[in-house]
Structure 1
Amino acid sequence: MKLLLFFICLVATSSAAILGIDYGQQFTKAVLLAPGISFEIVLTDEGKRKDLSGISIRENDGGLERVFGSATGSLCTRFPQSCIMGLKPLLGKSVKSAETQLFLGRNFGVKLAGDDSRSDAIKVDLGLSNDSYKFAIEEVLAMNLHELKARALNDLEDNALAKPIVEDVVVSVAPFASHETKQAYLDGLKLGNFSNVLGLVDEGTAVALNYVSSKKFNKEDLTGEKEYHIIYDMGAGSTTATLFSFTPFTNGSIVLELESIGYDETFGGQLFTQSVHTIILEKFLTSFDLKDSTKLPPKVLARILEAAEKAKIVLSINSDYHVSLENLYDGKDFKTTVTKDEFEEINSDLMDHITKPIKDALKSTSPEKSIEDIKSVILNGGSMRIPFVQKHLATLLGEKRISKSVNADESCALGTTLQGLKLKTKLEKAKDIKVIEKSYHNFEIKIDDNDDDKLVFAKGCQINNSSRLNLGSHKKNMNIGLYEDGRLIKSYKFDDFLKKVNDVSCSSKDSKQIFGTFTLDHNKMFDLSNLEVECVASEEKGGFFQKLLKKEGDASEGTDEEIANNDGTIDTNATNSTQSSTSKSSKRKTKPVSINIPKPIYPHIKPMSRTTKERTFNKLAYLNSKDESRAELDQIKNNLESGCYELRAYIDDHQDELLKEMTEDEISNYSTFVRDTIEWFEFDSDGSSIDDFLNKSSEVASKKKDLDSIVEMSKVDISLAGMKKLYEDGTTIAMQVQSYMLESGTQISEIRQKYEKENFDFDKENDRIKFKLLREGGDKIMTLDKDLAKYKDHLAKVGELTSLSESQFNKIPKREVYEKYEAATAKIVEMLADIILIQESHKSRIETFNDKFDKLLERKNKKELRDKLKQEKGAEKETDKEAVEEEEENGFIEEESDSEPIESETKTKSTVNNEAESTENVHDEL
């Protein structure tokens, strides 16, 4: 907990917010961290802590209507062909991949197409009339992320400590995510209008960090001994086991080290849902005597899938679930029952999938770990709530090792946000958690498609690393391929490479060597960052690849050993051993010359080009503006509808008061107006503009105001006697105000006289005080004359009524009398409130005048004293001068007789000087 508080304090030094996102296959969770907001979940509009990962996109009123997450409600069962749910497995995948078929098996009616310009990257076809509305997966992801950002901004609006800015973002990804998948996330974040992507965090890393940061360490726990734990995360679409260790040192610091992973990319909660869907679908086909489910309407399949999801949840607790779907097919209802035995039987062949990730994670460590080495297995993910999953894990692990010490729904989002803070601040304190992340893959390179590859970053090496390799000397243009576990990620073709090399001049004793710098960044993405030509003097000319290509036998093998590290790991703060081994037998003669790196060639899914991103960003901005306009119109519609029903209820509730002042026909006219407006809203408002709805709302508000006045009119005394009483009270208040103004003026006049008597500038101080009062909001006293004049005008109108006879007064419409009554009473209330403010302001003004007068008078007295002392000092000097002259004329000085007076005079002058200097110092300070 102390560590968590430290991180919270750290973010308080910046006013910008950090948004951590756990984008799951079924649900998305997000956490906001900002000054005044400590790791708070971003709620949905309905107040839920997690939101569905999906969107509904339909054509409506000539445009697109987008509904996000849980707000889709029943839209995805009514219009399944317009919904995109659970798209996470499609990120970075081809339309020909196996993930595509799994997705289509859960999203009925949705069509997927390949993007020829991006090597068959997936585009979603929702059957919209505009062909430009075939959305890339990155676009759909960006839509969800942008909506999430908007909700986070709403949370910041009421927070005075943080700026309403959400640009720093960090997202969790599956630890088995490919380069193409990670690039899809990065593109989606940019399209979602996040300007600063802090990074991508492995889900297992995030949960482990949340676990350690939330753990309370006592003094006796700080032993320096390493503990091993496993994060077992079963989500909707996949299952992972992340083996990690942490070491709590005696100084309070903790090292968190990610060791290895095991995973199953397709085994998760939705697979169980799909199994229940199969059970219900078979019973449905039998019930309706159907044989082919592929010809069923998407709506039917979607409703059965919705029932299957509910059944899976219920069967986690109960022994059976009753399915009841009204008007499901051919106008008929469908009812059936699914039992827990059926559920567990159909999933019995999946049992090995439950434990396999844990076993794989243990095998992937070096040296290999066993169950006995693991202190606990921490459960995470919503699908962990399925009882037989926990039961099967307990069989492998034992009950004692199973831990539920993290929030299975939110720990990933919390840990992701915390890692985002670490990535943003890049600070390491003594008692901080140091996270050591490792690569779970081997990263290699090949030159010119040669069969032999070179291991650059070995599995288990630390990430956020670089390595500089000697690629040898080349006589032709070169191609460099980058691989992950033998799978080509990207390649670079250097067409002008030879020209650049030939431009470099080396001495006859030197050879031109090519050096490449490769990086494995904090997102675990492998790339070529720099290529250089260098003149090298060596006992054996040529780098590893040149020797390898020339088959130089033992010498080549020796070089190979020098290039490769013992265990394939790379020191984070050092270059690859290739460079160090080369430097032992070579010496640089000239500065290396850089070679421009061309655009990479992608053998699989291509990232979005800059042009495509710009075009897509503009399209999304257009859709966002349309959504904002639609939201504004919806709000106006809601206000109109609620206003109509409120007005109708108001008429019913105040029938008796209204009848005192109105006829039944007049009241009926108001009721008719409400009925006509509601009918227009429900049946005739399609295609109406915002102004049309605003005008209707204005009419409803005006009618409501009229009725409010009539009801209030029935409650007040607006008879002739009542108006006379109002006039008398109002006149009394006006006289009191005038009397107070006169008294205030007298006080100010007395102060003026006091100032002028001492020759102080009253007008100057008066202007200063007025300006001060205006700055502090006490300007009512400056406008009192005008306000009193307006008040008297309203009072005079009441006075005109009181001068009438009873018969004349009764001829005036009550509405007109009430309006004058209302205006006068409103001014009376306003005037009384002003008087209180004016009294406080005047009191402050008088006190300020008196305080200033006292200071000026004190300053004046001190100045007079100083001047007096100066005059006395000058007179004494003149007397001394005359005495000396007289003695010189007499020709002698009686030393003995004069010594005492001189000493006395000296003492007197010294005392006077000190007093004068003291007075001057005081004056200077003033």
Structure 2
Amino acid sequence: MRGIIGLLFFATFVVTGSLAAVLGVDYGQQNIKAIVVSPQAPLELVLTPEAKRKEVSGLSIKRLPGYGENDPNGVERIYGSAVGSLATRFPQNTLLHLKPLLGKSLEDETSVTLYLKEHPGLKMASTNRSTIAFVVDNVEYPLEELVAMNIQEVVNRADSLLKDRDARTVDSVDKISLTIPDFFDQHQRNALLDASLMTTDIKDTYLVSEGMSVAVNFFLKQRQFPPGELQHYIVYDMGSGSTKASMFSILQPEDITEPVTIEFVGYGYNPHLGGGKFTMDIGSLIENKFLETHPAIRTDELHANPKALAKINQAAEKAKLILSANSEAAINIESLFSDIDFRTSITREEFEEFIADSLLEIVMPINGALSEQFGDYKTNLSDVNGVILAGGSTRIPIVQEQLLKLVSEERILRNVNADESAVNGVVMRGIKLSDSFKTKPLNVIDRSVNTYSFRSSNQSELHDVFVRGSVYPNKTSILSTEADPTTKNFTIDLFENGKLLETVTVNSPAATSSYSFKKCPSGVVYNITFGLSSDRLFSIQEVNYICRKEDDENESKQPKNKSNRLNFSSEDVEIKRLSFSEISCLREHMQLLDKQDKERFQLQKNLNILESNLYDARSLLMDDEVVQNGPKSQVEKLSEMVKVYLDWLEDASFDTNPEDIISRIREVGILKQKIELYLESSKEPLNLQQFKGMLEEGRKLLQAIENHKNTVEEFLSEFETEFADTIDNVREEFKNTKQPAYVSKALSTWEETLTSFKNSISEIEKVVAKNSFGEDLRERLFEIKLEFDMYRTKLEEKLLLRKSGDESRLTEIKKLHLRKFRLQRRKEEKLQRKLEKEQRGGENETEAVGNNSTDDKSAFFSDKTTESNPTSKEEILHDEL
């Protein structure tokens, strides 16, 4: 939590918009970490259901027994730590580490082959958009939907956390900030954005560079930088699936009141080197040792067994973690293949020797960041102030050894939490980008690691728009393509690093028809406005046509307006984005699964409560005091209930009626409570004297109810006389006057409770009349007393509410009378003034003819002022309210 506390110095959480929350998610290949920010939860880690700080990236989808293939109710989704163990039992149902496949197609053999090697047994398919889908139990799930499920589960936990902080809060996550590697191309970025669009209630999504997230966190943690001195740092981030080196400059102006600037200046990466590769290397060692020990088993036989491979991979991951702190790791795999239990060990020396050929790859991203700096930056390694380690795989000893060969120990910065620096930074960037809260000023200069170009339909060469190192978000306009009067449309192809992204078709007849040769003797050209968004998406924002001038320098300065804008449409090439209708359909499917998961979770929770209550009841029945002194009939009843309900639980399933479970929980609870209360009442006499006292208490309560009823009746009778001139029907007004909702709800069962209380008094009267007391009747007497006490308590509470409600209604009748009375009085006063004015007008009619018109106006305005007395008007309005 120290990193989070440090961040509190950065943000002053003053809400600038509605009560909503920003969720920062470090969406890693192997793990997911999240922090939520709202007025109720400033920088709060979103823990897993097991109270862990990071979540497994992925889920398992299983079909419940007894459901058909196409029955949507038969799907169960499992998240969290349980997913890891399911990978060895149900590898074909467990979908882990999906991130590297985003925006990819099955044609990408490298990515697909590596993935299936690490996750055997899964079945892939190609969608109609050339993207990847997984087939689970004959149901096809687009990759974007599976990622969206993972994100939605994190959003749901964040919302639950906010609700737990304050049940009255209306805060919920509506903005999400996601980490993304800089090397991710536009297809991968679009896929992640599509996944976010499927999540419920998310209005805005921000894609934030992983390196920039760590750099922001580093700045916030350090807080002190030499004014006026440009410093350089490299973020070395080795995660599960990739390794990145991002170089940044940090400048604190000499005027320390000015904001600090963080600028992205260099980048190098390896998309396939990471902890996952090292796990697979250890897995290869385990596999080799197993095959050497059992030569009769062929390699292809082992590789054809997904469960065996999943067990090897799981054992390899555990061994990798052990070898980070020890020189040797023991391997124990039960029933690895054909019921063979396998035991061996892997030493750190064996592992390091096995990967010796790829050791140089560990530091290559740093060399890449230095050699591929943006623009005019030419910083040497000796000028770098420090290398910040991020990502869990930087803890691997051989990785640190290779880094120390390149960078001195004192420049390896370990004061940033390698696991949580990215999530701390991404949530702060999300806050800044969303402008949800006021924060300390910070200038962030992000740059693209790719080059974006275009080519028009009548051209053969590419024209760069945003070259590598361009700042984004960005926008620029370029003049291109002279209009051809014979062509209705023309196309513009958009490229990323020379790879075709999409084709834009421009509808151009308006240009050739609106501008004649006389108007534009030099012809018509197109002005294309390109944009590179804050999510680093390249697109055309606007196309205009303008007259060509002889002076080319003035062409771009010509004004553009709505009348010369051209319509255009775009289409993705090869890999396509989800359409809005497809996203809506997938969102509905997810919401259905969420609803089923919630119902299943609540059902299982209630089943657990019932089971726990039954075992508690069984323990109570075995208590010596209950056995010796408990109410026999109740004890026998509860004993039978426990036996029957425990047997019933054995067959309970998802299609069990939830009301049955709740009813059984209530029955067990009531019976158990009765036995406990009976034992507590063992010192009570339950004799004639006690029952006579109860009878007296009951009659007093009934008399109090009658007295209140008479009091209300007296008031209504008085009001009928006193308010006859203002209220036509006092009793009807009293009846129709609304009470507070909680009062009316509580009093809705008044008659039912009163009747039950009177019945309990009748039972007491019978017992007293017959003098039916004794130890053999004690259980029956206890039941009568218990019922009397219960209904008496309920009735006393309701009587208090009834008194309060009736008093409130009588007060409203008085207020109504006063309002109407005042209104009548004002009407009478107004009428009186009018009559007096008419009388004065008749007496002075002759004199008025010669009077000055100014006097008439004065009199008129005077009358109007008197008639429209502001104070009186305000009073009337106030009374009416």
Q: TM-score range by the shorter chain?
A: 0.7 to 0.9
Answer yes or no: is the 8 Å Cα contact 1:34–1:162 preserved in 2.
Answer: no
CA distance in structure 1 between the partners assigned to 2:97 and 2:608 by the alignment: 32
CA distance in structure 1 between the partners assigned to 2:384 and 2:347 by the alignment: 36
Find the counterpart in structure 1 of residue 872 from structure 2: none
Answer yes or no: is the 8 Å Cα contact 1:468–1:518 preserved in 2.
Answer: yes
Aligned residue type for 1:140: L
State the 1:660 CA deviation.
4.7
Q: Confirm or deny that 1:192 pairs with 2:202.
A: no
Equivalent of 1:678, from 617, 621, 646? 646
State the 1:797 CA deviation.
3.4
Find the counterpart in structure 2 of residue 111 from structure 1: 123
Equivalent of 1:598, from 569, 582, 597? 569
State the 1:269 CA deviation.
0.6
Q: Deviations over 1:350-374 (max 9, x none)?
A: 2212211111111222332112211
Find the counterpart in structure 2 of residue 182 from structure 1: 189
1:404-423 map, 5 Å: 404-423=414-433
Structure 1 window deviating more from structure 2 (10-19 vs 774-783): it is 774-783
Q: Confirm or deny that 1:690 pairs with 2:656.
A: yes
Q: Deviations over 1:554-578 (max 9, x none)?
A: xxxxxxxxxxxxxxxxxxxxxxxxx
Q: Confirm or deny that 1:122 pairs with 2:104.
A: no
State the 1:449 CA deviation.
7.0
Find the counterpart in structure 2 of residue 865 from structure 1: none
Aligned residue type for 1:396: L
Answer yes or no: is the 8 Å Cα contact 2:232–2:383 preserved in 1.
Answer: yes
Find the counterpart in structure 2 of residue 800 from structure 1: 766
Equivalent of 2:391, from 381, 391, 406? 381
Q: Deviations over 1:442-488 (max 9, x none)?
A: 22222237443222112222111111111041434533222222222
Aligned residue type for 2:345: T
Structure 1 window deviating more from structure 2 (737-746 vs 432-441): it is 737-746
Answer yes or no: is the 8 Å Cα contact 1:91–1:181 preserved in 2.
Answer: yes
Q: Deviations over 1:165-198 (max 9, x none)?
A: 3221221111100011001011111123354233
State the 1:309 CA deviation.
0.6
Count residues with an aligned counterpart: 800
Answer yes or no: is the 8 Å Cα contact 1:16–1:162 preserved in 2.
Answer: no
Answer yes or no: is the 8 Å Cα contact 2:211–2:246 preserved in 1.
Answer: yes
Answer yes or no: is the 8 Å Cα contact 1:531–1:596 preserved in 2.
Answer: yes
CA distance in structure 1 between the partners assigned to 2:779 and 2:111 by the alignment: 74
Structure 1 window deviating more from structure 2 (67-76 vs 621-630): it is 621-630
Find the counterpart in structure 2 of residue 369 from structure 1: 379
CA distance in structure 1 between the partners assigned to 2:561 and 2:113 by the alignment: 57
Find the counterpart in structure 1 of residue 508 from structure 2: 497
Answer yes or no: is the 8 Å Cα contact 1:14–1:35 preserved in 2.
Answer: no
Q: Deviations over 1:792-813 (max 9, x none)?
A: 764453243223245xx45985
Q: Deviations over 1:191-231 (max 9, x none)?
A: 233542332111111111122233333xxx46132211111
Provide the TM-score with structure 2 as the length reference. 0.80
Equivalent of 1:435, from 444, 452, 464? 444
State the 1:522 CA deviation.
0.7
Answer yes or no: is the 8 Å Cα contact 2:483–2:523 preserved in 1.
Answer: no
In structure 2, do the counterparts of structure 1 residues 778 and 694 end up closer, same or farther at CA, with 3 Å as the change threshold?
Answer: closer
Aligned residue type for 1:46: E
Answer yes or no: is the 8 Å Cα contact 1:730–1:828 preserved in 2.
Answer: no
State the 1:6 CA deviation.
5.6
In structure 2, do the counterparts of structure 1 residues 614 and 839 end up closer, same or farther at CA, with 3 Å as the change threshold?
Answer: closer
Equivalent of 1:289, from 268, 292, 295? 295
Answer yes or no: is the 8 Å Cα contact 1:17–1:162 preserved in 2.
Answer: no
The 3-state SS of whatever aligns with 1:36 is: coil
In structure 2, do the counterparts of structure 1 residues 163 and 384 end up closer, same or farther at CA, with 3 Å as the change threshold?
Answer: same
1:623-642 map, 5 Å: 623-642=593-612
Find the counterpart in structure 1 of residue 63 from structure 2: 59
CA distance in structure 1 between the partners assigned to 2:637 and 2:269 by the alignment: 71
State the 1:591 CA deviation.
7.6
Find the counterpart in structure 2 of residue 202 from structure 1: 209
In structure 2, do the counterparts of structure 1 residues 165 and 504 end up closer, same or farther at CA, with 3 Å as the change threshold?
Answer: farther
Answer yes or no: is the 8 Å Cα contact 2:508–2:566 preserved in 1.
Answer: yes
Answer yes or no: is the 8 Å Cα contact 2:179–2:207 preserved in 1.
Answer: yes
Equivalent of 1:144, from 147, 150, 154? 150
Find the counterpart in structure 2 of residue 337 from structure 1: 345
Q: Deviations over 1:841-872 (max 9, x none)?
A: 99999xx9xxx9xxx9xxxxxxxxxxxxxxxx
Answer yes or no: is the 8 Å Cα contact 1:213–1:433 preserved in 2.
Answer: no
Q: Deviations over 1:394-434 (max 9, x none)?
A: 221111111122222222122112111212128997x5011
In structure 2, do the counterparts of structure 1 residues 704 and 168 end up closer, same or farther at CA, with 3 Å as the change threshold?
Answer: closer
In structure 2, do the counterparts of structure 1 residues 185 and 335 end up closer, same or farther at CA, with 3 Å as the change threshold?
Answer: same
Answer yes or no: is the 8 Å Cα contact 2:40–2:162 preserved in 1.
Answer: no
CA distance in structure 2 between the partners assigned to 1:654 and 1:771 by the alignment: 58
Aligned residue type for 1:536: R
Q: Confirm or deny that 1:68 pairs with 2:68.
A: no
Answer yes or no: is the 8 Å Cα contact 1:354–1:389 preserved in 2.
Answer: yes
CA distance in structure 1 between the partners assigned to 2:538 and 2:462 by the alignment: 15
Find the counterpart in structure 1 of residue 363 from structure 2: 355
CA distance in structure 2 between the partners assigned to 1:186 and 1:330 by the alignment: 44
CA distance in structure 2 between the partners assigned to 1:591 and 1:811 by the alignment: 97
Equivalent of 2:461, from 434, 452, 455? 452
In structure 2, do the counterparts of structure 1 residues 777 and 74 end up closer, same or farther at CA, with 3 Å as the change threshold?
Answer: closer
State the 1:65 CA deviation.
1.8
CA distance in structure 2 between the partners assigned to 1:143 and 1:785 by the alignment: 50
The 3-state SS of whatever aligns with 1:489 is: strand
Q: Deviations over 1:89-131 (max 9, x none)?
A: 100111121110000001111122223x223x212123x2x4x
Answer yes or no: is the 8 Å Cα contact 1:169–1:194 preserved in 2.
Answer: no
In structure 2, do the counterparts of structure 1 residues 426 and 438 end up closer, same or farther at CA, with 3 Å as the change threshold?
Answer: farther
Provide the TM-score with structure 1 as the length reference. 0.76
Answer yes or no: is the 8 Å Cα contact 1:537–1:588 preserved in 2.
Answer: no
The 3-state SS of whatever aligns with 1:452 is: coil
The 3-state SS of whatever aligns with 2:214 is: helix
Answer yes or no: is the 8 Å Cα contact 2:638–2:672 preserved in 1.
Answer: no
Answer yes or no: is the 8 Å Cα contact 1:643–1:701 preserved in 2.
Answer: no
1:531-570 map, 5 Å: 531-539=543-551
Equivalent of 1:255, from 257, 261, 277? 261
State the 1:18 CA deviation.
1.1
In structure 2, do the counterparts of structure 1 residues 727 and 385 end up closer, same or farther at CA, with 3 Å as the change threshold?
Answer: farther
CA distance in structure 2 between the partners assigned to 1:190 and 1:183 by the alignment: 10
Answer yes or no: is the 8 Å Cα contact 2:246–2:268 preserved in 1.
Answer: yes
CA RMSD after TM alignment: 4.5
Equivalent of 2:98, from 74, 83, 87? 87
In structure 2, do the counterparts of structure 1 residues 383 and 728 end up closer, same or farther at CA, with 3 Å as the change threshold?
Answer: same
Task: Identify which of structures 1 and 2 has the higher relative contact order when contacts are C-alpha pairs closer than 8 Å and 6+ apart.
Answer: 2
Find the counterpart in structure 2 of residue 651 from structure 1: 621
In structure 2, do the counterparts of structure 1 residues 581 and 500 end up closer, same or farther at CA, with 3 Å as the change threshold?
Answer: closer
In structure 2, do the counterparts of structure 1 residues 786 and 471 end up closer, same or farther at CA, with 3 Å as the change threshold?
Answer: closer
Aligned residue type for 1:593: N
The 3-state SS of whatever aligns with 1:267 is: coil
CA distance in structure 2 between the partners assigned to 1:827 and 1:679 by the alignment: 35
Equivalent of 1:273, from 270, 279, 287? 279
Answer yes or no: is the 8 Å Cα contact 1:179–1:525 preserved in 2.
Answer: yes
Find the counterpart in structure 1 of residue 827 from structure 2: none
Q: Deviations over 1:538-565 (max 9, x none)?
A: 246xxxxxxxxxxxxxxxxxxxxxxxxx
Answer yes or no: is the 8 Å Cα contact 1:3–1:432 preserved in 2.
Answer: no
Find the counterpart in structure 1 of residue 53 from structure 2: 49
Structure 1 window deviating more from structure 2 (721-730 vs 69-78): it is 721-730
Alignment gaps of 5+ in structure 2: 68-73, 819-874, 876-881
Q: Confirm or deny that 1:620 pairs with 2:632.
A: no
Q: Confirm or deny that 1:817 pairs with 2:817.
A: no
Find the counterpart in structure 1 of residue 690 from structure 2: 725
Structure 1 window deviating more from structure 2 (11-20 vs 76-85): it is 11-20
Q: Confirm or deny that 1:461 pairs with 2:470.
A: yes
Equivalent of 2:112, from 76, 80, 100? 100
CA distance in structure 2 between the partners assigned to 1:843 and 1:60 by the alignment: 58
Aligned residue type for 1:177: F
